[in-house]
Protein backbone atom coordinates (compact mmCIF):
# COMPACT_ATOMS: atom_id res chain seq x y z
CA UNK A 1 0.00 0.00 0.00
CA UNK A 2 2.96 2.30 0.58
CA UNK A 3 3.39 2.43 -3.20
CA UNK A 4 0.18 4.47 -3.51
CA UNK A 5 1.37 7.09 -1.07
CA UNK A 6 4.52 7.75 -3.10
CA UNK A 7 2.54 9.06 -6.06
CA UNK A 8 2.31 12.72 -6.95
CA UNK A 9 -1.11 14.36 -7.22
CA UNK A 10 -0.96 14.16 -11.04
CA UNK A 11 -0.09 10.44 -10.92
CA UNK A 12 -2.79 9.81 -8.31
CA UNK A 13 -5.46 11.53 -10.44
CA UNK A 14 -4.38 9.57 -13.51
CA UNK A 15 -4.29 6.21 -11.76
CA UNK A 16 -7.70 6.81 -10.20
CA UNK A 17 -9.09 7.62 -13.64
CA UNK A 18 -7.47 4.48 -15.08
CA UNK A 19 -8.99 2.51 -12.17
CA UNK A 20 -5.60 1.18 -11.05
CA UNK A 21 -6.92 1.52 -7.51
CA UNK A 22 -10.08 2.83 -5.90
CA UNK A 23 -10.58 5.97 -3.86
CA UNK A 24 -11.24 3.77 -0.81
CA UNK A 25 -7.89 1.99 -1.26
CA UNK A 26 -6.15 5.34 -1.65
CA UNK A 27 -7.79 6.76 1.48
CA UNK A 28 -7.05 3.70 3.51
CA UNK A 29 -3.37 3.77 2.46
CA UNK A 30 -2.94 7.38 3.57
CA UNK A 31 -5.03 7.08 6.73
CA UNK A 32 -3.00 4.12 7.95
CA UNK A 33 0.38 5.60 6.95
CA UNK A 34 -0.40 8.93 8.64
CA UNK A 35 -1.59 7.17 11.81
CA UNK A 36 1.53 5.00 11.84
CA UNK A 37 4.08 7.80 11.33
CA UNK A 38 2.48 10.62 13.26
CA UNK A 39 3.49 9.53 16.78
CA UNK A 40 7.16 10.01 15.78
CA UNK A 41 6.90 12.96 13.36
CA UNK A 42 4.08 14.94 15.05
CA UNK A 43 3.18 16.42 11.66
CA UNK A 44 -0.55 16.46 12.44
CA UNK A 45 -2.31 18.05 15.39
CA UNK A 46 -5.49 16.17 14.55
CA UNK A 47 -6.18 13.31 12.15
CA UNK A 48 -9.54 12.51 10.57
CA UNK A 49 -10.40 9.21 8.93
CA UNK A 50 -11.92 10.16 5.59
CA UNK A 51 -12.91 7.30 3.33
CA UNK A 52 -13.49 9.26 0.13
CA UNK A 53 -11.75 11.89 -1.94
CA UNK A 54 -8.04 12.59 -2.34
CA UNK A 55 -6.45 13.34 1.01
CA UNK A 56 -4.67 16.57 1.79
CA UNK A 57 -3.03 17.86 4.96
CA UNK A 58 -4.33 21.27 5.95
CA UNK A 59 -2.31 23.64 8.09
CA UNK A 60 -4.20 24.15 11.33
CA UNK A 61 -4.75 27.86 10.61
CA UNK A 62 -7.42 27.17 7.98
CA UNK A 63 -10.94 27.11 9.39
CA UNK A 64 -12.44 23.71 8.64
CA UNK A 65 -16.13 23.26 9.37
CA UNK A 66 -16.71 20.87 12.29
CA UNK A 67 -12.99 19.98 12.47
CA UNK A 68 -11.05 21.40 15.41
CA UNK A 69 -8.77 24.28 14.35
CA UNK A 70 -6.14 25.32 16.89
CA UNK A 71 -3.59 27.43 14.96
CA UNK A 72 -1.02 25.58 17.09
CA UNK A 73 -2.25 27.52 20.12
CA UNK A 74 -3.69 26.64 23.51
CA UNK A 75 -5.96 29.67 23.04
CA UNK A 76 -7.92 27.74 20.39
CA UNK A 77 -7.55 24.29 21.95
CA UNK A 78 -11.31 23.64 21.85
CA UNK A 79 -12.29 25.78 18.85
CA UNK A 80 -14.45 23.95 16.29
CA UNK A 81 -15.20 26.32 13.39
CA UNK A 82 -18.78 26.60 12.14
CA UNK A 83 -17.55 27.41 8.61
CA UNK A 84 -14.94 26.52 5.97
CA UNK A 85 -12.20 28.78 4.61
CA UNK A 86 -12.70 29.62 0.93
CA UNK A 87 -9.73 27.45 -0.07
CA UNK A 88 -11.19 24.45 1.78
CA UNK A 89 -14.54 24.83 -0.06
CA UNK A 90 -12.61 25.11 -3.34
CA UNK A 91 -10.65 21.93 -2.65
CA UNK A 92 -13.89 20.16 -1.73
CA UNK A 93 -15.25 21.03 -5.19
CA UNK A 94 -12.25 19.14 -6.61
CA UNK A 95 -12.88 16.04 -4.49
CA UNK A 96 -10.14 16.80 -1.98
CA UNK A 97 -10.85 15.72 1.60
CA UNK A 98 -9.14 16.82 4.80
CA UNK A 99 -6.92 14.02 6.11
CA UNK A 100 -5.95 16.09 9.10
CA UNK A 101 -4.82 19.44 10.42
CA UNK A 102 -1.08 19.91 10.23
CA UNK A 103 1.10 21.13 13.03
CA UNK A 104 2.51 24.65 12.89
CA UNK A 105 4.13 27.32 15.00
CA UNK A 106 1.52 29.06 17.16
CA UNK A 107 -0.54 31.42 14.97
CA UNK A 108 1.99 30.69 12.18
CA UNK A 109 4.75 32.51 14.02
CA UNK A 110 8.12 30.80 13.85
CA UNK A 111 10.81 29.40 11.58
CA UNK A 112 11.30 25.99 13.20
CA UNK A 113 7.94 24.54 14.25
CA UNK A 114 9.05 24.66 17.87
CA UNK A 115 6.50 27.33 18.83
CA UNK A 116 3.57 24.93 18.49
CA UNK A 117 1.69 24.39 21.75
CA UNK A 118 1.29 20.77 20.63
CA UNK A 119 5.00 19.93 20.45
CA UNK A 120 7.52 20.37 17.63
CA UNK A 121 7.18 18.56 14.32
CA UNK A 122 10.25 16.47 13.46
CA UNK A 123 12.08 16.60 10.14
CA UNK A 124 11.48 13.27 8.33
CA UNK A 125 15.06 13.33 6.99
CA UNK A 126 16.51 13.42 10.50
CA UNK A 127 14.33 13.32 13.61
CA UNK A 128 16.81 15.46 15.58
CA UNK A 129 16.36 18.35 13.15
CA UNK A 130 13.69 21.04 12.78
CA UNK A 131 11.38 20.79 9.76
CA UNK A 132 11.34 24.58 9.36
CA UNK A 133 8.31 26.71 9.96
CA UNK A 134 5.76 27.82 10.34
CA UNK A 135 4.02 25.34 7.98
CA UNK A 136 6.10 22.60 9.63
CA UNK A 137 3.61 19.75 9.57
CA UNK A 138 2.46 20.59 6.04
CA UNK A 139 6.01 20.15 4.71
CA UNK A 140 6.94 17.16 6.89
CA UNK A 141 3.69 15.33 6.01
CA UNK A 142 4.30 15.68 2.26
CA UNK A 143 7.97 14.68 2.63
CA UNK A 144 6.96 11.56 4.58
CA UNK A 145 4.18 10.66 2.10
CA UNK A 146 1.50 11.05 4.79
CA UNK A 147 -0.70 13.00 2.33
CA UNK A 148 -0.76 13.71 -1.43
CA UNK A 149 -0.23 17.42 -0.88
CA UNK A 150 -0.88 19.99 1.78
CA UNK A 151 -1.82 23.62 2.26
CA UNK A 152 0.30 26.08 4.17
CA UNK A 153 0.47 29.81 4.64
CA UNK A 154 3.47 32.01 3.89
CA UNK A 155 3.80 35.36 5.67
CA UNK A 156 7.59 35.70 5.67
CA UNK A 157 8.68 32.34 4.25
CA UNK A 158 6.43 29.89 6.10
CA UNK A 159 5.71 27.75 3.01
CA UNK A 160 9.03 28.08 1.15
CA UNK A 161 11.40 27.54 4.10
CA UNK A 162 9.86 24.33 5.53
CA UNK A 163 9.49 23.02 1.95
CA UNK A 164 13.21 23.68 1.46
CA UNK A 165 14.22 22.07 4.77
CA UNK A 166 12.01 19.00 4.14
CA UNK A 167 12.89 18.55 0.43
CA UNK A 168 9.46 19.18 -1.11
CA UNK A 169 7.96 21.84 -3.39
CA UNK A 170 6.44 24.93 -1.76
CA UNK A 171 4.70 27.79 -3.57
CA UNK A 172 4.00 31.19 -2.05
CA UNK A 173 1.58 32.82 -4.49
CA UNK A 174 1.48 36.56 -5.14
CA UNK A 175 -0.16 38.46 -2.28
CA UNK A 176 -3.76 38.78 -3.40
CA UNK A 177 -3.83 35.67 -5.62
CA UNK A 178 -5.56 33.40 -3.08
CA UNK A 179 -8.38 34.43 -0.74
CA UNK A 180 -7.55 34.65 2.94
CA UNK A 181 -11.20 34.25 3.93
CA UNK A 182 -11.35 31.82 6.84
CA UNK A 183 -7.57 31.73 7.31
CA UNK A 184 -6.65 32.66 10.86
CA UNK A 185 -4.94 36.02 10.37
CA UNK A 186 -1.34 36.66 11.34
CA UNK A 187 -0.16 39.75 9.40
CA UNK A 188 -2.81 40.88 6.97
CA UNK A 189 -0.60 42.75 4.49
CA UNK A 190 1.63 39.69 4.12
CA UNK A 191 -0.39 36.46 4.58
CA UNK A 192 -0.52 34.17 1.50
CA UNK A 193 -2.14 30.71 1.49
CA UNK A 194 -0.48 28.24 -0.89
CA UNK A 195 0.38 24.60 -1.64
CA UNK A 196 3.14 22.23 -0.52
CA UNK A 197 3.46 19.40 -3.04
CA UNK A 198 5.59 16.52 -4.38
CA UNK A 199 6.10 18.17 -7.77
CA UNK A 200 6.03 21.63 -9.36
CA UNK A 201 3.21 20.53 -11.67
CA UNK A 202 1.13 19.62 -8.61
CA UNK A 203 1.71 23.09 -7.15
CA UNK A 204 0.38 24.60 -10.38
CA UNK A 205 -2.71 22.33 -10.23
CA UNK A 206 -3.53 23.16 -6.61
CA UNK A 207 -2.95 26.88 -7.18
CA UNK A 208 -5.37 26.70 -10.11
CA UNK A 209 -7.97 25.18 -7.80
CA UNK A 210 -7.65 27.62 -4.92
CA UNK A 211 -6.92 30.96 -6.70
CA UNK A 212 -9.62 33.42 -7.81
CA UNK A 213 -11.82 35.96 -6.08
CA UNK A 214 -14.54 34.80 -3.71
CA UNK A 215 -15.99 38.23 -3.00
CA UNK A 216 -14.75 37.96 0.57
CA UNK A 217 -11.16 39.16 0.27
CA UNK A 218 -10.96 42.52 -1.51
CA UNK A 219 -7.30 42.01 -2.41
CA UNK A 220 -8.27 39.13 -4.69
CA UNK A 221 -10.80 41.16 -6.65
CA UNK A 222 -8.71 41.64 -9.74
CA UNK A 223 -5.70 39.96 -11.28
CA UNK A 224 -3.17 41.52 -13.52
CA UNK A 225 -2.34 38.14 -15.05
CA UNK A 226 -4.30 34.94 -15.27
CA UNK A 227 -2.87 31.51 -14.78
CA UNK A 228 -2.82 30.06 -18.27
CA UNK A 229 -0.73 27.06 -19.12
CA UNK A 230 3.01 26.70 -18.90
CA UNK A 231 5.94 27.92 -20.88
CA UNK A 232 7.68 24.90 -22.35
CA UNK A 233 10.99 26.40 -23.35
CA UNK A 234 13.35 28.38 -21.15
CA UNK A 235 15.52 29.70 -23.99
CA UNK A 236 15.98 33.43 -23.78
CA UNK A 237 14.71 33.59 -20.22
CA UNK A 238 16.84 35.76 -17.93
CA UNK A 239 17.60 34.59 -14.39
CA UNK A 240 18.76 37.31 -12.01
CA UNK A 241 21.26 36.43 -9.27
CA UNK A 242 21.18 38.93 -6.39
CA UNK A 243 24.71 39.32 -4.98
CA UNK A 244 23.17 39.88 -1.51
CA UNK A 245 21.74 36.32 -1.50
CA UNK A 246 25.17 34.74 -1.98
CA UNK A 247 27.09 36.86 0.50
CA UNK A 248 28.40 36.20 4.02
CA UNK A 249 26.11 34.07 6.16
CA UNK A 250 25.24 31.57 3.45
CA UNK A 251 26.36 28.06 4.34
CA UNK A 252 29.03 26.80 1.94
CA UNK A 253 27.27 23.52 1.15
CA UNK A 254 23.97 25.30 0.43
CA UNK A 255 25.81 27.78 -1.79
CA UNK A 256 27.43 24.99 -3.82
CA UNK A 257 24.06 23.22 -4.29
CA UNK A 258 22.28 26.41 -5.37
CA UNK A 259 25.10 27.43 -7.76
CA UNK A 260 24.96 23.98 -9.32
CA UNK A 261 21.20 24.40 -9.79
CA UNK A 262 21.76 27.75 -11.50
CA UNK A 263 24.30 26.12 -13.82
CA UNK A 264 21.58 23.60 -14.65
CA UNK A 265 19.20 26.44 -15.52
CA UNK A 266 21.85 27.80 -17.90
CA UNK A 267 22.11 24.36 -19.50
CA UNK A 268 18.34 24.51 -20.00
CA UNK A 269 18.71 27.70 -22.03
CA UNK A 270 18.41 30.46 -19.45
CA UNK A 271 20.89 33.28 -19.38
CA UNK A 272 22.17 34.53 -16.05
CA UNK A 273 22.43 38.21 -15.12
CA UNK A 274 23.91 39.73 -11.99
CA UNK A 275 21.50 41.93 -10.10
CA UNK A 276 21.49 43.73 -6.79
CA UNK A 277 18.79 44.10 -4.12
CA UNK A 278 20.59 46.72 -2.02
CA UNK A 279 18.07 47.00 0.84
CA UNK A 280 18.14 43.26 1.64
CA UNK A 281 20.15 43.87 4.83
CA UNK A 282 17.25 45.94 6.24
CA UNK A 283 14.49 43.52 5.28
CA UNK A 284 14.48 41.42 8.47
CA UNK A 285 14.18 44.49 10.71
CA UNK A 286 11.46 46.07 8.53
CA UNK A 287 9.59 42.77 8.28
CA UNK A 288 9.65 42.03 12.01
CA UNK A 289 8.38 45.53 12.84
CA UNK A 290 5.53 45.49 10.31
CA UNK A 291 4.58 41.86 10.89
CA UNK A 292 4.62 42.21 14.70
CA UNK A 293 2.52 45.39 14.46
CA UNK A 294 -0.10 43.61 12.37
CA UNK A 295 0.09 40.58 14.68
CA UNK A 296 -0.56 42.71 17.76
CA UNK A 297 -3.65 44.10 16.07
CA UNK A 298 -4.94 40.78 14.67
CA UNK A 299 -4.39 38.86 17.88
CA UNK A 300 -6.32 41.48 19.85
CA UNK A 301 -9.48 39.59 18.84
CA UNK A 302 -8.66 36.72 21.21
CA UNK A 303 -10.60 37.92 24.21
CA UNK A 304 -12.04 34.61 25.40
CA UNK A 305 -15.60 35.88 24.87
CA UNK A 306 -16.85 34.72 21.46
CA UNK A 307 -14.49 31.76 21.06
CA UNK A 308 -11.22 30.50 22.47
CA UNK A 309 -9.61 30.83 25.86
CA UNK A 310 -7.97 33.75 27.65
CA UNK A 311 -4.91 35.74 26.62
CA UNK A 312 -2.75 34.17 29.33
CA UNK A 313 -2.75 31.04 27.14
CA UNK A 314 -0.55 32.58 24.40
CA UNK A 315 2.89 30.95 24.17
CA UNK A 316 6.19 32.87 24.51
CA UNK A 317 6.69 33.76 20.81
CA UNK A 318 3.11 34.99 20.37
CA UNK A 319 3.48 37.13 23.49
CA UNK A 320 6.84 38.42 22.28
CA UNK A 321 5.42 39.51 18.92
CA UNK A 322 2.31 41.07 20.45
CA UNK A 323 4.62 43.03 22.76
CA UNK A 324 6.96 44.10 19.93
CA UNK A 325 4.07 45.17 17.74
CA UNK A 326 2.31 47.07 20.50
CA UNK A 327 5.60 48.83 21.22
CA UNK A 328 6.20 49.72 17.53
CA UNK A 329 2.68 51.18 17.27
CA UNK A 330 2.67 53.04 20.58
CA UNK A 331 2.77 56.81 21.07
CA UNK A 332 6.30 58.15 20.73
CA UNK A 333 7.62 55.14 18.81
CA UNK A 334 5.24 54.92 15.82
CA UNK A 335 7.32 57.23 13.60
CA UNK A 336 10.66 55.63 14.45
CA UNK A 337 9.50 52.05 14.04
CA UNK A 338 6.21 51.36 12.24
CA UNK A 339 6.29 54.32 9.82
CA UNK A 340 10.04 53.94 9.23
CA UNK A 341 9.65 50.24 8.41
CA UNK A 342 6.76 50.99 6.02
CA UNK A 343 9.06 53.39 4.14
CA UNK A 344 11.87 50.85 4.02
CA UNK A 345 9.29 48.43 2.62
CA UNK A 346 8.83 50.82 -0.31
CA UNK A 347 12.58 50.74 -0.98
CA UNK A 348 12.61 46.92 -0.85
CA UNK A 349 9.69 46.80 -3.28
CA UNK A 350 11.56 49.21 -5.59
CA UNK A 351 14.69 47.01 -5.39
CA UNK A 352 12.65 44.18 -6.93
CA UNK A 353 11.00 46.42 -9.53
CA UNK A 354 14.42 47.63 -10.70
CA UNK A 355 15.84 44.09 -10.69
CA UNK A 356 12.95 42.79 -12.80
CA UNK A 357 13.80 45.34 -15.49
CA UNK A 358 16.90 43.20 -16.10
CA UNK A 359 15.53 39.68 -15.58
CA UNK A 360 12.39 37.50 -15.72
CA UNK A 361 12.95 35.57 -12.51
CA UNK A 362 15.33 35.80 -9.55
CA UNK A 363 17.07 32.69 -8.22
CA UNK A 364 18.89 31.98 -4.98
CA UNK A 365 18.75 29.98 -1.76
CA UNK A 366 15.59 29.75 0.39
CA UNK A 367 17.39 29.33 3.70
CA UNK A 368 21.00 30.18 4.61
CA UNK A 369 21.46 26.70 6.07
CA UNK A 370 19.89 23.25 5.92
CA UNK A 371 17.70 22.09 8.83
CA UNK A 372 19.28 22.83 12.21
CA UNK A 373 19.04 20.90 15.48
CA UNK A 374 15.84 21.04 17.50
CA UNK A 375 16.43 23.47 20.36
CA UNK A 376 19.42 25.15 18.70
CA UNK A 377 17.91 28.63 18.20
CA UNK A 378 14.81 28.59 20.36
CA UNK A 379 16.37 30.64 23.18
CA UNK A 380 17.71 33.30 20.82
CA UNK A 381 14.74 34.86 18.99
CA UNK A 382 16.88 37.33 17.03
CA UNK A 383 19.06 34.53 15.67
CA UNK A 384 15.89 32.70 14.61
CA UNK A 385 14.52 35.83 12.90
CA UNK A 386 17.76 36.33 10.95
CA UNK A 387 17.37 32.91 9.33
CA UNK A 388 14.47 34.42 7.33
CA UNK A 389 16.78 36.75 5.38
CA UNK A 390 16.14 35.28 1.90
CA UNK A 391 12.36 34.98 2.21
CA UNK A 392 11.12 38.12 3.96
CA UNK A 393 12.17 40.66 1.28
CA UNK A 394 9.92 39.03 -1.35
CA UNK A 395 7.11 38.77 1.23
CA UNK A 396 7.35 42.51 1.86
CA UNK A 397 7.20 43.09 -1.91
CA UNK A 398 4.23 40.70 -2.25
CA UNK A 399 5.77 38.77 -5.15
CA UNK A 400 5.44 35.00 -5.73
CA UNK A 401 8.17 32.53 -4.75
CA UNK A 402 8.80 28.84 -5.25
CA UNK A 403 11.04 26.41 -3.41
CA UNK A 404 12.22 23.41 -5.44
CA UNK A 405 14.49 20.60 -4.14
CA UNK A 406 18.01 21.09 -5.55
CA UNK A 407 20.37 18.90 -3.57
CA UNK A 408 21.56 17.75 -0.16
CA UNK A 409 24.11 18.80 2.42
CA UNK A 410 25.02 16.07 4.91
CA UNK A 411 21.84 14.17 4.10
CA UNK A 412 19.57 17.21 4.54
CA UNK A 413 17.64 18.80 1.66
CA UNK A 414 18.42 22.16 0.04
CA UNK A 415 15.82 24.25 -1.76
CA UNK A 416 16.29 26.52 -4.77
CA UNK A 417 14.20 29.66 -4.51
CA UNK A 418 12.72 31.14 -7.68
CA UNK A 419 11.06 34.55 -7.34
CA UNK A 420 8.85 36.18 -9.97
CA UNK A 421 7.05 39.37 -10.82
CA UNK A 422 3.66 40.19 -9.32
CA UNK A 423 1.04 37.70 -10.55
CA UNK A 424 3.61 35.91 -12.71
CA UNK A 425 3.45 32.52 -10.99
CA UNK A 426 3.46 30.92 -14.47
CA UNK A 427 7.07 31.85 -15.19
CA UNK A 428 8.47 30.68 -11.84
CA UNK A 429 6.50 27.44 -12.15
CA UNK A 430 7.84 26.92 -15.70
CA UNK A 431 11.43 27.45 -14.52
CA UNK A 432 10.87 25.24 -11.47
CA UNK A 433 9.27 22.48 -13.50
CA UNK A 434 11.98 22.46 -16.19
CA UNK A 435 14.62 22.30 -13.45
CA UNK A 436 12.79 19.54 -11.60
CA UNK A 437 12.27 17.43 -14.73
CA UNK A 438 15.96 17.66 -15.63
CA UNK A 439 17.15 16.55 -12.17
CA UNK A 440 16.30 13.70 -9.80
CA UNK A 441 16.26 15.58 -6.50
CA UNK A 442 12.47 15.49 -6.24
CA UNK A 443 12.54 11.68 -6.43
CA UNK A 444 14.63 11.35 -3.27
CA UNK A 445 12.62 10.18 -0.26
CA UNK A 446 13.62 10.13 3.41
CA UNK A 447 14.43 6.65 4.72
CA UNK A 448 11.61 6.20 7.18
CA UNK A 449 12.36 3.10 9.19
CA UNK A 450 10.52 3.40 12.44
CA UNK B 1 17.10 53.33 21.78
CA UNK B 2 17.69 53.01 25.48
CA UNK B 3 17.25 49.62 27.04
CA UNK B 4 13.61 48.73 27.72
CA UNK B 5 12.96 48.77 31.46
CA UNK B 6 10.62 46.32 33.20
CA UNK B 7 8.23 49.25 33.91
CA UNK B 8 8.05 49.97 30.19
CA UNK B 9 7.41 46.30 29.49
CA UNK B 10 4.63 46.40 32.10
CA UNK B 11 3.10 49.42 30.35
CA UNK B 12 3.23 47.78 26.89
CA UNK B 13 1.64 44.65 28.37
CA UNK B 14 -1.25 46.76 29.69
CA UNK B 15 -1.70 48.35 26.24
CA UNK B 16 -1.68 44.87 24.70
CA UNK B 17 -4.08 43.47 27.32
CA UNK B 18 -1.53 40.73 27.95
CA UNK B 19 -1.26 39.27 31.44
CA UNK B 20 2.48 38.72 32.09
CA UNK B 21 4.15 37.18 35.12
CA UNK B 22 6.95 39.10 36.81
CA UNK B 23 9.43 36.59 35.41
CA UNK B 24 8.11 37.20 31.89
CA UNK B 25 8.39 40.97 32.37
CA UNK B 26 12.07 40.66 33.30
CA UNK B 27 12.75 38.20 30.48
CA UNK B 28 11.03 40.35 27.89
CA UNK B 29 12.83 43.51 29.02
CA UNK B 30 16.10 41.88 28.02
CA UNK B 31 14.93 40.09 24.86
CA UNK B 32 12.86 42.96 23.49
CA UNK B 33 15.74 45.41 24.11
CA UNK B 34 18.03 43.27 21.95
CA UNK B 35 15.46 43.02 19.18
CA UNK B 36 14.61 46.74 19.28
CA UNK B 37 18.36 47.49 19.14
CA UNK B 38 18.45 45.49 15.94
CA UNK B 39 15.42 47.39 14.61
CA UNK B 40 17.43 50.59 15.08
CA UNK B 41 19.52 49.51 12.08
CA UNK B 42 16.74 51.06 9.99
CA UNK B 43 17.80 54.55 11.13
CA UNK B 44 20.77 54.18 8.74
CA UNK B 45 18.41 54.22 5.74
CA UNK B 46 17.55 57.63 4.26
CA UNK B 47 13.77 57.62 3.84
CA UNK B 48 13.27 61.39 3.82
CA UNK B 49 11.66 61.35 0.36
CA UNK B 50 10.07 57.88 0.48
CA UNK B 51 6.34 57.23 0.84
CA UNK B 52 5.31 54.32 3.09
CA UNK B 53 3.93 51.03 1.72
CA UNK B 54 1.07 49.51 3.69
CA UNK B 55 -0.03 46.98 1.09
CA UNK B 56 2.16 45.25 -1.51
CA UNK B 57 -0.48 45.38 -4.26
CA UNK B 58 -2.33 48.37 -5.64
CA UNK B 59 -5.62 48.65 -3.83
CA UNK B 60 -8.87 49.44 -5.53
CA UNK B 61 -12.26 50.03 -4.02
CA UNK B 62 -14.34 46.90 -4.34
CA UNK B 63 -18.06 47.53 -4.32
CA UNK B 64 -21.03 45.19 -4.24
CA UNK B 65 -24.76 45.31 -3.62
CA UNK B 66 -25.59 45.49 0.09
CA UNK B 67 -27.83 42.46 0.03
CA UNK B 68 -28.58 39.84 2.68
CA UNK B 69 -27.70 36.19 2.32
CA UNK B 70 -27.76 33.12 4.56
CA UNK B 71 -25.17 33.23 7.33
CA UNK B 72 -24.36 31.39 10.57
CA UNK B 73 -27.30 30.42 12.76
CA UNK B 74 -27.41 31.76 16.30
CA UNK B 75 -26.51 28.29 17.56
CA UNK B 76 -23.46 28.06 15.28
CA UNK B 77 -22.31 31.57 16.17
CA UNK B 78 -22.52 30.82 19.90
CA UNK B 79 -21.21 27.28 19.98
CA UNK B 80 -17.59 28.20 20.67
CA UNK B 81 -18.34 30.81 23.31
CA UNK B 82 -17.11 29.91 26.82
CA UNK B 83 -20.10 31.64 28.45
CA UNK B 84 -23.55 32.01 26.90
CA UNK B 85 -26.72 33.32 28.49
CA UNK B 86 -30.14 33.30 26.89
CA UNK B 87 -28.74 33.16 23.34
CA UNK B 88 -26.15 35.87 23.97
CA UNK B 89 -22.39 36.11 24.62
CA UNK B 90 -21.51 36.89 28.22
CA UNK B 91 -18.87 39.63 28.29
CA UNK B 92 -16.57 40.78 31.05
CA UNK B 93 -17.84 43.49 33.34
CA UNK B 94 -16.70 46.78 31.77
CA UNK B 95 -17.20 49.14 34.71
CA UNK B 96 -15.23 48.09 37.75
CA UNK B 97 -15.67 49.20 41.39
In a domain, A439, yes or no: yes
Gap between the Cα atoms of A363 and A427, Å rounded:
12
ipTM of the complex: 0.94
Q: How confident is the model at residue A225 (pLDDT cuts 50, 70, 90)?
A: low
Note the helical H segments in B1-97.
6-15, 22-39, 74-78
Sign of the Cα torsion B60, B63, B68, B70 reads negative
Q: How confident is the model at residue A93 (pLDDT cuts 50, 70, 90)?
A: very high
Over the stretch B28-87, which tens digit does the pLDDT of each residue have?
999 999 999 999 999 999 999 999 999 998 777 888 899 998 999 999 999 999 999 999
Q: How confident is the model at residue A227 (pLDDT cuts 50, 70, 90)?
A: confident
A448 CB neighbour count, 10 Å cutoff: 18
Question: How far does Cα A247 stand from its chain's mean position?
Answer: 24
pLDDT surpasses 80 at A433: yes
Q: What is the per-residue pLDDT for B63? A: 86
3-state DSSP of A249-261: CCCHHHHHHHHHH
- From the list A422, A386, A415, the residue with the least C-alpha distance to A160 is A415
Contact B89, A305 (CB under 8 A): yes
Instruction: Report the half-sphere exposure of B32 (CA within 13 A, side-chain side).
Output: 31
Known catalytic membership, residue A394: no
pLDDT surpasses 90 at B3: no
**Which CATH number fits the domain that encloses residue A271?**
3.90.1300.10
Q: What is the per-residue pLDDT for A108? A: 98
Instruction: Note which residues in 212-241 of chain A have CB less than 8 A from chain B.
Output: 215, 218-219, 221-222
Over the stretch A7-38, which tens digit does the pLDDT of each residue have?
999 999 999 999 999 999 999 999 999 999 99
SS3 of residue A59 by DSSP: strand
Known catalytic membership, residue A59: yes
| Average pLDDT of every residue of chain A | 96
**Which structural domain, as residue segments, surrounds residue A197?**
4-443
Gap between the Cα atoms of A131 and A44, Å rounded:
13
CA distance B95 to chain A (A): 17
Contact A274, A307 (CB under 8 A): no
Q: What is the per-residue pLDDT for A326? A: 97
Cis-peptide, bond into residue A129, ω within 30° of zero? no
Known catalytic membership, residue A73: no
A309 CB neighbour count, 10 Å cutoff: 17
In a domain, A450, yes or no: no
Minimal Cα distance from A285: which residue of B?
Answer: B39
Mean pLDDT value of segment A119-133: 98
Mean pLDDT value of segment A218-233: 71
Inspect the interface and report whether the beta carbons of B39 and A285 lie closer than 8 Å.
yes
pLDDT surpasses 60 at B2: no
Name the more confident of A186 and A215.
A186
Round the CA-based radius of gyration of chain B to a whole number and report it.
Answer: 23
Structural domains of chain B sorted by starting position, each given as residue range(s) with its CATH number in brackets: 6-44 (1.10.20)
Instruction: Note which residues in 36-95 of chain B have CB less than 8 A from chain A.
Output: 36, 38-39, 41-45, 47, 50-57, 59-60, 62, 64, 72, 76-77, 79-83, 89-92
State the total domains in chain A.
1
Inspect the interface and report whether the beta carbons of A324 and B20 lie closer than 8 Å.
no
- From the list A99, A107, A118, the residue with the least C-alpha distance to A185 is A107
Q: How confident is the model at residue A230 (pLDDT cuts 50, 70, 90)?
A: low
In a domain, A448, yes or no: no
In a domain, A449, yes or no: no
Q: What is the per-residue pLDDT for A164? A: 98
CA distance A317 to chain B (A): 11
Instruction: Report the half-sphere exposure of A28 (CA within 13 A, side-chain side).
Output: 6
Q: How confident is the model at residue B1 (pLDDT cuts 50, 70, 90)?
A: low
B32 neighbourhood in chain A, CB within 8 Å: 320, 323-324, 327
- Whole-model pTM? 0.97
Gap between the Cα atoms of A237 and A317, Å rounded:
42
Q: How confident is the model at residue A263 (pLDDT cuts 50, 70, 90)?
A: very high
pLDDT surpasses 90 at A369: yes
Amino acid sequence: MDELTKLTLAETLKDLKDKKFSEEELCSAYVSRAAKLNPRLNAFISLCEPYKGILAGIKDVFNTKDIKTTAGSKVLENYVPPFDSTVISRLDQHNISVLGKTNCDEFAMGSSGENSAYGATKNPWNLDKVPGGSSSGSAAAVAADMCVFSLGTDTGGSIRQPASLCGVVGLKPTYGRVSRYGVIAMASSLDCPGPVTKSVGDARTVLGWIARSDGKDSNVAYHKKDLNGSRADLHGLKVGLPSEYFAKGLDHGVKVAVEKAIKQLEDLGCSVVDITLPHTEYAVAAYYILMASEVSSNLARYDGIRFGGGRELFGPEAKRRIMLGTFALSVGYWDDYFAKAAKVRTLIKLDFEKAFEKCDVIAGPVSPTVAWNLGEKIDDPLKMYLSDIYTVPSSLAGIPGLSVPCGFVQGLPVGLQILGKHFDEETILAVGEAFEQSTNWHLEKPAINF
Amino acid sequence: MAKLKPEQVKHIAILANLPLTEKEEIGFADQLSKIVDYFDELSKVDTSSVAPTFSPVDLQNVLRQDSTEPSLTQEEALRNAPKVDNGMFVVEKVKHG
